[in-house]
Structure 1
Amino acid sequence: MSDPLSWLVSLEGVSSAYAGTRDGIDVVLRDRGLRRTSPETTAESLLRGAHASAVLAGSASSLAEVRASGGDPIALDAVRISTELLSLVPVLKRAPLQALARLHALAAPGRPDVGRPRNAEAAARLQALAGLLTATTTAPALVVAAIVHADLATATPFGSHDGLVARAAERLVLVVRGVDEKSLTVPEAGHLALRPQYESNLRGYAAGTREGVHSWLLYAAEAYAAGAEASPLQG
Structure 2
Amino acid sequence: MTLAPLLDLADIADALGGARASFDTALRHRALRKQGGQVAVEAGLRTARASAALQGHAYDLDELRAGTAVDPVVQGALRVSQALEGLVPSWTRAPRQVLAKLHVLAGRGIVPDAELGRPGGALAGGAPGVVEAGVQARLDGLVQLVTGKEDTLLLAAVVHGELLALGAFGQVNGVVARAAARLTLIAGGFDLRGLLPVDVGHLDREPEYLGAQATFATGTPDGLRSWLKHYAAAVTRAAEETTAICDGLV
* TM-score (norm. length: structure 1): 0.93
Q: Distance in 2 between matches of 1:92 and 1:37?
A: 27
Q: CA deviation at 1:136?
A: 2.5
For the Cα contact (< 8 Å) 1:156–1:162, is it kept in 2? Answer: yes
Q: CA deviation at 1:22?
A: 0.3
Give the counterpart letter for 1:56 in structure 2: L
Does residue 168 (structure 1) correspond to residue 179 (structure 2)? The answer is yes
Q: Distance in 1 between matches of 2:147 and 2:41?
A: 28
Structure 1 SS opposite 2:33 = coil
Give the equivalent residue in structure 2 for 1:25.
23
For the Cα contact (< 8 Å) 1:93–1:176, is it kept in 2? Answer: yes
Give the equivalent residue in structure 1 for 2:161.
150
Q: CA deviation at 1:37?
A: 3.3
**Deviates further, 24-33 or 80-89:** 24-33
Question: Structure 1 residues 42 and 70, CA, compared in 2 at 3 Å: closer, same or farther?
Answer: farther
Q: Distance in 1 between matches of 2:13 and 2:80?
A: 31
Question: Structure 1 residues 70 and 173, CA, compared in 2 at 3 Å: closer, same or farther?
Answer: farther
RMSD (Å) for aligned C-alpha atoms: 1.5
Q: Distance in 2 between matches of 1:6 and 1:212?
A: 16
Q: CA deviation at 1:36?
A: 4.0
Runs of 4+ in 1 over 6 A off after TM superposition: none
Give the counterpart letter for 1:192 in structure 2: L
Q: CA deviation at 1:227?
A: 0.7
Q: Distance in 1 between matches of 2:225 and 2:247?
A: 30
Q: Distance in 2 between matches of 1:143 and 1:64?
A: 33
Give the equivalent residue in structure 2 for 1:57.
55
| Deviations 1:93-148, CA, capped at 9 Å, x for gaps | 211111111111111125211111212333332221111111233xx311110110
Give the equivalent residue in structure 2 for 1:212.
223
Matches within 5 A, 1:34-183: 34-69=32-67, 71=69, 72-109=71-108, 111-118=113-120, 119-120=131-132, 121-137=134-150, 140-183=151-194
Q: Distance in 2 between matches of 1:96 and 1:64?
A: 33
Q: Which runs of 5+ in 2 are unaligned?
A: 121-130
Give the equivalent residue in structure 1 for 2:125.
none
1:185 to 187, 196, 208: 196
- The number of residue pairs the alignment matches comes to 231
Give the equivalent residue in structure 2 for 1:198.
209
For the Cα contact (< 8 Å) 1:89–1:176, is it kept in 2? Answer: yes
Q: Distance in 1 between matches of 2:31 and 2:7?
A: 29
Question: Structure 1 residues 133 and 46, CA, compared in 2 at 3 Å: closer, same or farther?
Answer: same
Question: Structure 1 residues 70 and 151, CA, compared in 2 at 3 Å: closer, same or farther?
Answer: farther
For the Cα contact (< 8 Å) 2:52–2:74, is it kept in 1? Answer: yes
Identity %: 39
Question: Structure 1 residues 13 and 4, CA, compared in 2 at 3 Å: closer, same or farther?
Answer: same
* TM-score (norm. length: structure 2): 0.88
| Deviations 1:165-205, CA, capped at 9 Å, x for gaps | 01111111111111111111110000011111001101111
